[in-house]
Structure 1
């Protein structure tokens, strides 16, 4: 691989995870003035418009699929994209941005475990180790250091919603691996944004307390900037940067950069003046260690094996 291209890929992935991490405190700030449904509605609308323009610019057209394939694509998109955003942003209205980012950091691990479950195979020892360590770190934060609350099932409602959204996204990520064999990613993502827009539109229409048009006319310019950031950079920009990085470094290496999401979330939260506790920082460190240690051991074993052959 070209070293310069690898360096560029690393920078793109770091920028991508910064955008994703920043979405948590930015979204938390936006939710101070708009309803979560309104925020999600605008996120999907902005992202869909941007992706449509990008697809036209790159001459990317929708593929020809069978009715069964369309049902599968739209169904998976509704569960993954719709479920994630409904869980994430309704949850953020009731919990800290740092908690949300910490829960979402479990997504790569959850995706791996869902794969093991659906394929009826046992997870690797590294995956089990990561699961135990990461869950300990997350539960330490979510229970505010009182782990006995786990036995009493006492969790913040917002944390529960984000955890549900994370599971939806992990299932979506796993199922996407199969869909990507016969549907290009840009059209697939555009369908996901449109499916998410449809879901939130129906939910909003059925809610008597949500008035997105009236809210949108009254929002402050700072909140408008927050919504545009989430739609343009946190959704479309992050996704395109992620694709570029994965193409150069591979999915396995790129997935390591997901660990920077909670780090950037905390740094951005501090910039926004939002509260970040020492316990949240400790939990974040434990989760990142749980995700990285098995990979580091594997790398060391591979390095020793190569050294023995020399």
Structure 2
């Protein structure tokens, strides 16, 4: 993985990616009555083709996975794509959607701790302090809802899958890059979901999709999967999983904005307050830090202690 950067520019792709993910909430409502696994399988199959075309046009170098890389990539596909969809669908059967959304919004805390550990670095105090603020703002934006014990369990699983989508990519991003990780996880996820769709919904389930649902699948395949995945993994590779994790707080803001634009009404006062809190957390957690503010572990690791006048890039 590249040395995590403290500058703002590498964060922009991840921010755009989270805006696309958040704005997809309105589109996804179109698929409520669609055969879930079949629709998602079509989505990821189409996204895999789109990604391959985009990668060729961008001149991206693609390599075939080897050895343990298959386990990491398959792990992303199982947790971040297939199992995540199952957790969300089963979760909303036992809990209001806001409960699952709030659980997923806790991802910055998990990524802030586990991400740097996977990258063999000390978690940033700045990120750890900002993560709960971002989560609190996301809770205000999403609201809360009723649930039972089973709903809590499914929500917790959704959170774990959301975190795994980023964390399991850390060991393979150096060799495969954002393009390779995106392509391989998407086609693997598409195969898994196709098997689920064939088994649970039947081989003719795709015929049940309406024109509007096909359009929604196309939007999700192009922007929310092909484009957003590459943007997100690009930022994770550049700035590290912990710092990038804070950007997941942007998704609820984009969802609220998309809802307002689509005619669901202007956000209430609690939503506006949540937006302000998320922004405050992002500013506090993502602002560039000078060398004096760096964790001593990072400083020692990069040899800055012996060269105090040298500028060091750090999380």
> Same fold per TM (> 0.5)?
yes
- CA 1:17–1:80: 2 relative to 1, 3 Å: closer
How far residue 68 of structure 1 moved from its aligned partner, in angstroms, is: 3.7
Alignment-derived partner of residue 35 in structure 2: 35
User: Does structure 2 retain, via aligned residues, the 8 Å contact 1:142–1:155?
Assistant: no
Q: Among 132, 149, 166, which residue is 2:159 paired with? A: 166
- Scaled by the length of structure 2, the TM-score of the pair is 0.68
User: Does structure 2 retain, via aligned residues, the 8 Å contact 1:21–1:261?
Assistant: yes
- CA 1:14–1:31: 2 relative to 1, 3 Å: same
Greater helix fraction, Structure 1 or Structure 2: 1
Alignment-derived partner of residue 4 in structure 2: none
User: Does structure 2 retain, via aligned residues, the 8 Å contact 1:44–1:231?
Assistant: yes
Deviations 1:215-251 (A, max 9, x none): 22xx1x333222211110111122334466678x845
User: Does structure 2 retain, via aligned residues, the 8 Å contact 1:78–1:196?
Assistant: yes
Which SS does the other structure have where 1:184 is aligned?
helix
- CA 1:129–1:110: 2 relative to 1, 3 Å: same
- Scaled by the length of structure 1, the TM-score of the pair is 0.69
Deviations 1:226-277 (A, max 9, x none): 2211110111122334466678x84587665543322111010122234755
Alignment-derived partner of residue 227 in structure 2: 237
- CA 1:130–1:164: 2 relative to 1, 3 Å: farther
How far residue 17 of structure 1 moved from its aligned partner, in angstroms, is: 3.1
Deviations 1:195-229 (A, max 9, x none): 2112212222332589532322xx1x333222211
Which SS does the other structure have where 1:33 is aligned?
coil
Between the aligned partners of 2:37 and 2:44, the Cα distance in structure 1 is 11
- CA 1:76–1:108: 2 relative to 1, 3 Å: same
What runs of 5+ residues in structure 1 fail to find an aligned partner? Answer: 1-5, 304-308
Which SS does the other structure have where 1:273 is aligned?
coil
User: Does structure 1 retain, via aligned residues, the 8 Å contact 2:178–2:234?
Assistant: no
User: Does structure 2 retain, via aligned residues, the 8 Å contact 1:116–1:122?
Assistant: yes
- CA 1:43–1:206: 2 relative to 1, 3 Å: same
Which SS does the other structure have where 2:33 is aligned?
coil
- CA 1:124–1:46: 2 relative to 1, 3 Å: same
Alignment-derived partner of residue 18 in structure 2: 17
Between the aligned partners of 1:183 and 1:189, the Cα distance in structure 2 is 9
Alignment-derived partner of residue 69 in structure 1: 69
